[in-house]
Amino acid sequence: MKNPFLFILLALCGLCSLTCSNPTGKETAKKNKIPVYAWLGGPGTSTDEEIREKFEFYKEQGIDVLMYNGGQDPEVYRRVGKIARLAGLGFHTWIPTMVQAKTPEIAEEWYAINGLGESALVKPAYVDYYKFLCPSKEGVYRFLENMYSRVARVEEVDAIHLDYIRFPDVILARGLWDKYKLVMDREYPQYDYCYCEDCTEAFKQQTGIDIKKADDPSQVEEWKSFRYDLITRLVNRLADTIHATGKQINAAVFPGPGSVAKKLVRQEWDKWKLDAFFPMNYNDFYLEGTDWIGAVTKEAVTAIEGKKPVISGLFICPDPAKKASEQDPENHGLVPEELGEAIRQSMMNGATGICLFTPERMTEKHWVVFREAIYRKANME
Ligand SMILES: [Zn+2]
């Protein structure tokens, strides 16, 4: 060959026509693969090399996008995001919204107040980290807007992923009652928020109702709607801000929204202007099986009229052999024998993909079932 450039050009053309007109088996499989997301935290003390190895392993298993929790420092996301990109993974930043530890940036009076008048900062519900902010405060919104905008401006970040974008659980999921030694047969004031002056006054102005004088606030429908709207308004303002940076924004939500999310945590998420929804379809927390995952996936897709992707969040059991004897529901979840069916139920009922909580809880048996299931769509066609 006299002209090496011509040779390269011909070779490229050959390659192009091959892939364009005759897709390889690998590409067909890729096209039919179920999109897979995964919630993951880090980086801790890991080196770049250690992160790279882990990300490449996840990519090989079939994960496409990481929902990465690395605190609030944009530089952490720049560093880890670069490695994710090199591994061929999408990169969304998973950062809690309404739950915030006290820092000098956050005023004490921004924390939510329960029906007994107690601050979530001083006396959080259930667990020490349940320090929820009040969604009425402009300072709270400004803090969140600033924090998420700085992260969204990092080039390697594809999307902002909100979590804990809600009120504290006024009712806990049924599977958690024993753990906290509670019977949550109705709404109790110590778990019911927010009764701060800003929230109760704004509600009074809007409806004429003094909720502090109500015999049973849980029976006042307007008070429920008012609080759904507080969260919805905050989400939609954040969505406008993040979209202005050219990035996407989505959220982890409770299942439903009608069956669980509204009742337990006051999320009317079908009204949120987000790019995707990640319902945490954690069946074991509700003492349900894999059929339930299908039912709540269908409910989610129907609620948003199929207009946005619903990614079905699946809770993985880290030690399947011990599931039956394990007391703590946090260690329950899908065993390998259930994982394939959970994925199938999600996809058959309209999910766009699935999200693993978490890849680090997956055992070798889980990965075997998983790899088979994510290509099942291709096998069915
Ligand atoms: Zn409030």
CA of 113 to the centre of ligand 1 (A): 6
> Separation of 80 CA from ligand 1 center, angstroms?
36
**Residue 124 pLDDT grade (very low, low, confident, very high; cuts 50, 70, 90):** very high
Q: Compute, in angstroms, the gap from residue 97 CA to the centroid of ligand 1.
A: 15
Interatomic CA distance for residues 153 and 74, integer angstroms: 8
Reported in sequence order, the residue ranges of 50-118 that DSSP labels E, i.e. its strands, are 65-69, 90-96
112 Cα–ligand 1 center, Å: 5
Please say whether the beta carbons of 11 and 46 come within 8 A: no
- What residue spans define the domains of the chain? 36-380
Strand 36-41 with 65-69, pairing? parallel
Helix (H, G, I), strand (E, B) or coil at 284: helix
The pLDDT assigned to 14 comes to: 40
Average pLDDT of the residues of the chain: 92
Q: How far is the CA of 142 from the centre of ligand 1 (A)?
A: 15
SS (H, E, C) 10-35: HHHHHHHHHHHHCCCHHHHHHHHCCC
Give the phi and the psi of residue 41 in degrees, each rounded to 5: -110, 160
- If you measure from the C-alpha of residue 198 to the centroid of ligand 1, how many angstroms do you get, rounded to a whole number? 5
Q: How far is the CA of 200 from the centre of ligand 1 (A)?
A: 7
Tell me the CA–centroid distance for residue 173 and ligand 1, in Å.
24
What whole-number percentage of the chain has pLDDT above 90? 88
HSE-CB at 345 with a 13 A cutoff on CA atoms is 20
Cα gap 107→237, rounded to integer Å: 21
Q: Please write the tens of the pLDDT for every residue from 163-213.
A: 999 999 999 999 999 999 999 999 999 999 999 999 999 999 999 999 999
Per-residue pLDDT at 23 exceeds 70: no
Distance, CA of 100 to CA of 106 (rounded, Å): 8
Looking at domain 36-380, its CATH superfamily turns out to be: Glycosidases (3.20.20.80)
Which pLDDT score, from 0 to 100, does residue 10 have? 41
What's the CA-to-centroid distance between 265 and ligand 1, angstroms? 15
Ligand 1 centroid from CA 165, angstroms: 15
103 alpha carbon to ligand 1 midpoint, in Å?
Answer: 19
Residue 205 C-alpha to ligand 1 middle, in angstroms? Answer: 14
In this structure, which amino acid lies at residue 64? D
Strand partners, 99: 132
Give me ligand 1 centre to Cα 272, in Å. 20
pLDDT tens-digit readout, 339-372: 999 999 999 999 999 999 999 999 999 999 999 9
pLDDT at 377: 54
Average pLDDT over residues 277-303: 98
| Cα 277 to middle of ligand 1, angstroms | 26
How far does the centroid of ligand 1 lie from the alpha carbon of residue 232, in Å? 15
- Contact partners, residue 10, CB within 8 Å, separation at least 6: none
Q: How far is the CA of 49 from the centre of ligand 1 (A)?
A: 45
The two most distant CA atoms of the chain are separated, in Å, by: 93
Q: Which of 96, 199, 98 is nearest to 140 (CA)?
A: 98
CA–CA gap between residue 67 and residue 373 (Å, rounded): 21
Strand 311-315 relative to strand 353-357: parallel, antiparallel, unpaired? parallel
Helix-strand-coil percent breakdown of the chain, rounded to 5?
A: 50, 15, 35
